[in-house]
Amino acid sequence: MDSKVKELLISLHGKIESNAEYFTNKIFEDKNNFDLNYPPNQEFTAEELKILKELPNNLVLKSALKKVFAACTASVIFDMFCDIDGVSEPNGTDDWFGLDLKEKEEDSEDNEFLHDEFYGTYWDWKDENE
């Protein structure tokens, strides 16, 4: 395995862990300050906030939810890697062979960034699935 790929994969595991911890703590320790960035343009309803605020500060429940958040995140990343590797295909794609990702050159002028496009394409997905 290339050392840069290994660095990326190890980093992802740390991000899964820290995000699961962050969102679990938001539910149990910062009940008045929930912030979501996904799905775009949606917030908790008053009824959802009310029920979240009523959750008991239960360490077993907190641990279980952290595991659920981590598993959900890891599953999405794993599925994305399967699509990139070409062992699965994105929905509706018949001629998918995967993608080759390569390290960018230091002076690369390729300005197409996936993170810039990610949240905006939610609406494309939403339109296709309504």
Element at 4 (helix H, strand E): helix 3-29
Six-digit token string for 107:
């002076």
Q: What pLDDT digit, counting tens, does each position of 59-95 carry?
A: 999 999 999 999 999 999 999 999 999 999 988 788 8
Q: How far apart are CA 6 and CA 12, in angstroms?
A: 10
- The pLDDT > 70 percentage for the chain reads 98
Output b/e per residue, 63-81; b: 16+ Cβ within 10 A: eebbeebbeebeeeeeeee
Whole-Å CA distances, 46 to 43, 49, 125, 130: 9, 5, 26, 25
CB 62 within 8 A of CB 28: yes
Six-digit token string for 48:
């959802």
- What's the N-to-C CA distance of the chain in angstroms? 41
Residue 61: its pLDDT value, please? 94
**Vertex 78 angle, CA 42 and 60, to 5°:** 65
CA atoms within 13 A on the CB side of 56: 4
Residue 37: its pLDDT value, please? 76
CB 110 within 8 A of CB 104: yes
Least confident of 4-8, 13-17, 36-40, 43-47: 36-40
DSSP, collapsed to helix, strand or coil, labels residue 75 as helix
> Global pTM?
0.85
